[in-house]
Amino acid sequence: MKFTNCVVVLILFLGTVVAWPIVGIGVQETDSKKESAQTDEPVLNAEKPQESKEDKFKPVDNMHHFMEYISKPSYMELRKILAKEKVSRGEWKKVKQHSLILSETSKLVSERGPADKDQNAEWKKLAFETYQQGAALYKAAGSRKLEVAVKHYGAMMDACNQCHKKFDPKNHQLAK
Ligand code: HEC
């Protein structure tokens, strides 16, 4: 190797050795800058109460409209189909649809009970009963067992009516 070539290689080598830590520090710096940028925006604002995402799901309307627009149409459809002696494939799908609506929305109902502790516990118990019987009805519809389905539909309606007897000012007693 010629002397000049040796010098060029040496300069390149030294250049890399010197530049390496500088580049490294640069990377670290931008990382720590990012962190401090994040901490500049307070994650925990002491003046604002902490609010989880779930808390933002406020009821859209009152219990009356919940029952009228969500529970009632599903109940009426179930009542019509389960009074039949024979239920078609398409009707079983509808039973699944409406029992799923009534069981899953029982969770939402359960969260909207009265403030009083004992009354709230009673409310939750009846919403849970609706949920359990609705879920059992959904399962029976999946295996198309009419007798089992009718039994759970009846028990679910008992739970609906028990809650109405206790908490509905008009005490709607829904016919099975
Ligand atoms: C945990 C309590 C609770 C359960 C369980 C419950 N409801 Fe209700 N329901 C109420 C209350 C309270 C009202 C009265 C709302 C109002 O008018 O202020 C009501 C009212 C109703 C009404 C009358 C609405 C109207 O148009 O006036 C219907 C229909 C109804 N519920 C259907 C159902 C069905 C079907 C179920 C069961 C699948 C059910 N509810 C389960 C609490 C409950």
Assess if CATH 3.90.1150.10 describes domain 53-167. Answer: no
Measured CA distances, 173 to 29, 135, 158 (Å): 70, 21, 9
Radius of gyration of the chain (CA): 32
Out of 62, 63, 65, 67, mutate this one to test ligand 1's pocket (max ligand atoms within 8 Å of CB): namely 67
Which tens digit of pLDDT belongs to each residue from 135-166? 999 999 999 999 999 999 999 999 999 999 99
Q: Grade residue 55 by pLDDT with cuts at 50, 70 and 90.
A: confident
Q: What is the pLDDT of residues 88-141, one digit of tens each?
A: 999 999 999 999 999 999 999 999 999 999 999 999 999 999 999 999 999 999
Give me ligand 1 centre to Cα 122, in Å.
Answer: 15
Domain map (residue ranges) of the chain? 1-49, 53-167
130 lines ligand 1 (CB under 6 A): yes
Q: Whose CA is nearest to atom 15 of ligand 1?
A: 64
Alpha helix (H) residue ranges in the chain: 3-40, 63-66, 72-82, 89-110, 117-142, 146-167
Whether residue 102 contacts residue 122, with contact meaning beta carbons closer than 8 Å, is answered with no
Pocket lining: 139 vs ligand 1, CB cutoff 6 Å: no
Q: Cβ neighbours of residue 50 under 8 Å, at least 6 residues apart? A: 44
One-letter amino acid for residue 158 of the chain? D
72 lines ligand 1 (CB under 6 A): yes
Ligand 1 pocket mutation, candidates 164, 170, 173, 176, criterion most atoms within 8 A of CB = 164
Residue 74 has pLDDT above 60, yes or no: yes
